[in-house]
C-alpha cells in the first residue's frame, strides 16, 4: 500500500502529464474534416489554436449542421461575433442554436429572433407551435466556473482545465438551476408564455440526475422556486443536454412546469407535447396551470 507521500507524488505526476496533454490539444485532429461554416467561424477566432474543438468527426458534423440551421434562418452573421469570440462565448452561442434547432426539428417554428421582453431586454427567440401561440424563450448555460469557491477563483482555478485528475469537491447542481432563473427572470413578462432552457457545463451535469436536481431547485418545500407565486412570470424550465455515441449526436430535454404560472403558462403543444412535469403534491391539487 502506498504511503500518503507516495500517493501525493503519483497524483501530481498524473496531473502534470494531463497538463502537458491538454496544452498539446491546440487544433482539431488531422483526420477531422471541417465544414466551410466551421472554418469561417474558426478563422480569426479567439479560441483558434487553443483547443481541439471540434475534437471528432461526429462533433464536426454536428457543429456544421447547427451552423447550417443558423444560415437557413439568416442568423449566422448575427451569431458569428460570439462564435468567433472566447471559447465560452462560442459554447453559449452554439447552445442557443442547438435549442432552437431541437425545437424546429420537433415541429415548432422560430417565430422571431431576439424578441423583446420585460424592460426592453432581449430573449433568444420565440417559439410557435400548432396552437399558434408564441413562447418567449431564453437559454442559459451555467458552467463549472460557477461552482468554484472564492478562494479557487482568487488562485486562478478557472483558467485550468475543467477536470483535474483526483480533484474532489462538493457540488450542488440544483443551485445552477436557481442561478439561471435568477439571471433570466427579469426578461419574462407577466402577460406572455415563457420558457427558460438550461444547457449546463457543470462538474456533474444536470443530465445526470435531472429529476432529482429539478425537484430540489423548483419543487422542494424548503425554498423551491416553483412552490410560491414569486416566479409566476416563468412558465417552465427545460433542462437540455447533448447525448453522444460513436456514430451520432442527439439532443434531449426534460420540461418542468411552474404550477403558479398564470397568463405566462405554456400552451398545450409544448407542455403536453414535451411531457411537462408537475410533482404530485397535496397543495398542488388546487393549483392549475393555465394553458392557451
Q: Are residues 19 and 64 in the same domain?
A: yes
Residue that finishes a domain, picked among 39, 64, 91: 91
Domains in the chain: how many in total?
2
Q: Are residues 129 and 190 in the same domain?
A: yes
Residue 79 grid cell? 451569431
User: In the structure grid, which three cell numbers stand for residue 21, read together?
Assistant: 496533454
C-alpha cell at 267: 400552451
32 and 128 fall within a common domain:
no
The three three-digit cell numbers of residue 173, written as one number: 447542481
Give the model confidence (pLDDT) of 21-47 as tens digits: 454 566 799 999 999 999 999 998 999
- Indicate if 67 and 165 belong to the same structural domain: no
Is residue 97 in a domain? no
Indicate the residue among 91, 120, 145 that finishes a domain.
Answer: 91
Burial of 178-206, coded b for 16+ CB within 10 Å and e otherwise, reads bbbbeebbebbbeebbbbbbbbbbbbbbb
Per-residue pLDDT tens digits for 79-121: 999 999 999 999 999 999 999 999 999 999 999 999 999 999 9
Tell me if 121 is assigned to some domain.
yes
Same domain, 134 and 248: yes
Q: Report phi then psi at 110, rounded to 5.
A: -90, 100
Nearest alpha-carbon partner for 86 in 41, 25, 45, 26: 45
Which range of residues forms the domain containing residue 141?
106-292
Domain assignment present for 167:
yes
78 domain residue, yes or no:
yes
125 plus 249 within the same structural domain:
yes
166 SS3 class: coil
Is residue 264 in some structural domain?
Answer: yes
8 A C-beta contact, residue 115 and residue 194: no
Residue 99, domain member (yes or no):
no
Work out the burial of residue 225: count CB atoms within 10 Å of its CB; fewer than 13 is exposed, 13-18 middle, 19 or more buried: buried
- Let me know the angle formed at the C-alpha of 286 by 280 and 291, rounded to the nearest 5 degrees: 85
Same domain? For 123 and 32 the reply is no
Of residues 6, 13, 3, 15, the one with CA closest to residue 167: 15
**What percent of the chain is predicted at pLDDT more than 90?**
72
Whether 10 maps to a domain, the answer reads: yes
Out of 37, 63, 91, pick the residue that ends a domain. Answer: 91
Task: Looking at the structure, tell me whether residues 288 and 240 fall in a common domain.
Answer: yes
Is residue 170 domain-shared with residue 49, that is, in the same domain?
no
Query: What is the reported pLDDT for 2?
Result: 64
> CA of 96: how far to CAs of 73, 93, 139, 240, in Å?
13, 5, 6, 11
Give the pLDDT confidence score for residue 256 in this predicted structure. Answer: 98
Shared domain check, 111 and 84: no
**pLDDT for 289:** 46
**Together in a domain, 25 and 55:** yes
Q: With CA atoms as reference, report the closest residue to 176 among 136, 137, 218.
A: 218
**Residues lower than pLDDT 70 in the chain:** 1-2, 4-26, 164, 166, 168, 281-292
Domain membership flag for residue 231: yes
Predicted model pTM = 0.87
Residues 138 and 194 placed together within one structural domain of the fold: yes
Amino acid at each position: 500500500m502506498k504511503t500518503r507521500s507516495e500517493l501525493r507524488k503519483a497524483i501530481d505526476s498524473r496531473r502534470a502529464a494531463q497538463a502537458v496533454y491538454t496544452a498539446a490539444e491546440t487544433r482539431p485532429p488531422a483526420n477531422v474534416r471541417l465544414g466551410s461554416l466551421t472554418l469561417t467561424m474558426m478563422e480569426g477566432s479567439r479560441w483558434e489554436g487553443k483547443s481541439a474543438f471540434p475534437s471528432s468527426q461526429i462533433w464536426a458534423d454536428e457543429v456544421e449542421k447547427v451552423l447550417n440551421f443558423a444560415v437557413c434562418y439568416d442568423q449566422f452573421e448575427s451569431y458569428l461575433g460570439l462564435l468567433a469570440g472566447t471559447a465560452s462565448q462560442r459554447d453559449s452561442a452554439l447552445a442557443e442554436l442547438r435549442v432552437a434547432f431541437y425545437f424546429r426539428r420537433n415541429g415548432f417554428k422560430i417565430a422571431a429572433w431576439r424578441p423583446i421582453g420585460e424592460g426592453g431586454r432581449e430573449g433568444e427567440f420565440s417559439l410557435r407551435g400548432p396552437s399558434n401561440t408564441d413562447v418567449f424563450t431564453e437559454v442559459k448555460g451555467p458552467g463549472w466556473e460557477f461552482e468554484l469557491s472564492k478562494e479557487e477563483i482568487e488562485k486562478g482555478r478557472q483558467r485550468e482545465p475543467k477536470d483535474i485528475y483526483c480533484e474532489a469537491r462538493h457540488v450542488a447542481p440544483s443551485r445552477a438551476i436557481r442561478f439561471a432563473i435568477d439571471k433570466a427572470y427579469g426578461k419574462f413578462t407577466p402577460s406572455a408564455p415563457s420558457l427558460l432552457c438550461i444547457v449546463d457545463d457543470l462538474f456533474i451535469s444536470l443530465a445526470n440526475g435531472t429529476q432529482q436536481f429539478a425537484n430540489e431547485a423548483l419543487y422542494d418545500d424548503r425554498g423551491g422556486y416553483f412552490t410560491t407565486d414569486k416566479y409566476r412570470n416563468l412558465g417552465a424550465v427545460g433542462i437540455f443536454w447533448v447525448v453522444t455515441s460513436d456514430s451520432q449526436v442527439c439532443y434531449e430535454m426534460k420540461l418542468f412546469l411552474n404550477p403558479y404560472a398564470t397568463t405566462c403558462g405554456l400552451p398545450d403543444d409544448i407542455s403536453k407535447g414535451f411531457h411537462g412535469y408537475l410533482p404530485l403534491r397535496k397543495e398542488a391539487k388546487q393549483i392549475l396551470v393555465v394553458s392557451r
